[in-house]
Chain A
Amino acid sequence: MIESIVGSLNAGAKYIIPLLLVGIPFYALSVKKVKVYEVFVAGAKDGFTIAVRIIPYLVAILVAVGMFRASGALDLLLNFMAPVLNFIGFPPENLPLALMRPLSGSGSLGLLTDLVNEHGADSLTAKIGATMFGSSETTFYVLAVYFGSVAVTRSRHALVAGLTADAVGALSAVFFCKLLLT
């Protein structure tokens, strides 16, 4: 049952973007007589400015994240946190992924790949990992890009709220996988 729902959802998902690309101009042209080509070009012009505007913010955040990953600081943090997490039943194999997820998309995908290769896609470890990966975003990257695009430097409570949500997301991934998939 679930498999067929998931199958059709994923099959449907690949039609969404083409449908939007055709559907929106179709509605505009047929119902509102909008000059779609001219309006498209006028809107698209901003793409360049926004992309260039985020460069300095992205450099700042990604360099810090890259140094953090390369230094082995993450491993030190893991050793430090392991006893506490063991106590609450958080599987130690999934901890690196949970910590990496808010920092780096490619890094966490690499860790997930390792988990799947090592434990097999059918293992609880891999399922917890995949749930974690799907249930959280690269918070640092999103923060840099979104705030950077409008030159906001004082982010207030955004990072605290985002990281708390990431932590709850990781913990609930463990909880629901243990509850439903064992």
Chain B
Amino acid sequence: MLNYIWFGMMAISVVAAIFTGRIDAVTEAAINMSKTAVEISIGLIGIMALWLGIMKIAEESGLIKIIARGLRPITIRLFPDVPADHPAIGSIVLNMAANMLGLGNAATPLGLKAMEELQELNPKKDTATNAMVMFLAINTSSVQLIVPATVVALMGVAASQIFITTILATLCSTVTAIFMVKMLEKTKTFSVENAS
């Protein structure tokens, strides 16, 4: 799937650029974005180290287990393949909490830790498991309880009005994400055997 989408996006770009006369801009974007990608990754090192360190403390002290146990009734339904007391559940829950509160900086390291722990349970290392896809889908459609700081800065007083609409819209998108994942994971096209 990603093979076609990745190639498709680049091929469409080049064809479209020929029509719009923006071929130079496309070349420039390709070169600049490869630079940006590295800058983003390198920039993550510090934040990653900070949160992974704090997470390790939370793990050693048993905090993660307590959180995971508390939310077991929900997580067992969303991630039936992950044992209820597995450390991945703790990281997943913390990542979701960080996302809901709009703490993007904390959410990414927690999410990557969760992925690492989910990968331990994965029998086919290059293919996403049901739990991984569910986690990713919930993550990208996350319920947003706090309007992002950038939006508050932009909107000023009007930001308070979009508080409820944002919660409602994200609720709809999260429900859709869960429904789509549960439905698609059973289809043949997206099965682990046929995975692409």
Are A32 and B62 neighbours in the complex by a CB distance under 8 Å?
yes
Interfacial chain B residues near A58, Cβ < 8 Å: 37-38, 40-41
Partner of B17, one of A42, A70, A180: A70
Main secondary structure of the interface of A (DSSP, over half): helix
Count A/B pairs, Cβ under 8 Å: 372
Selected A-B contacts with CB under 8 Å, 7 pairs: A48-B45, A130-B154, A130-B162, A134-B169, A136-B141, A157-B184, A159-B5
Interfacial chain A residues near B34, Cβ < 8 Å: 59, 62-63
CA distance A25 to B160 in the complex (A): 34
CA distance A50 to B163 in the complex (A): 34
Q: Which of A42-76 contact B (CB under 8 A)?
A: 42-48, 50-52, 54-55, 58-73, 75-76
Across the two chains, which residue of chain B brings its CB closest to A141? B40
Are A27 and B9 neighbours in the complex by a CB distance under 8 Å?
no
CA distance A59 to B30 in the complex (A): 9
Q: Which of B1-60 contact A (CB under 8 A)?
A: 1-2, 5-6, 9-10, 12-14, 16-17, 19-20, 22, 25-26, 28-30, 32-34, 36-38, 40-42, 44-50, 52-60
Interfacial chain B residues near A155, Cβ < 8 Å: 1-2, 128, 133
User: Is the CB of A151 closer than 8 A to any CB of chain B?
Assistant: yes
The range of chain B's interface size is: 35 or more
Chain A binder among B70-78, B79-87, B144-152: B144-152
Across the two chains, which residue of chain B brings its CB closest to A143? B136
The range of chain A's interface size is: 35 or more
Are B160 and A160 neighbours in the complex by a CB distance under 8 Å?
no
Main secondary structure of the interface of B (DSSP, over half): helix
Interfacial chain A residues near B176, Cβ < 8 Å: 164-165, 168-169
Are A121 and B158 neighbours in the complex by a CB distance under 8 Å?
yes
A2-B163, A122-B158 known; A146 vs B56 contact (CB < 8 Å): no
Partner of A39, one of B9, B56, B62, B132: B56
Most buried by B among A25, A51, A76: A51
Q: Which of A111-141 contact B (CB under 8 A)?
A: 112-113, 116, 121-122, 126-127, 130-139
Are B169 and A71 neighbours in the complex by a CB distance under 8 Å?
no
**7 closest A-B pairs by CB:** A43-B56, A47-B49, A169-B173, A66-B33, A28-B61, A47-B48, A44-B53
CA distance A56 to B10 in the complex (A): 16
CA distance A81 to B34 in the complex (A): 30
CA distance A160 to B2 in the complex (A): 11
Are A142 and B52 neighbours in the complex by a CB distance under 8 Å?
no
Q: How far is the CB of B119 from chain A (nearest CB, A)?
A: 4
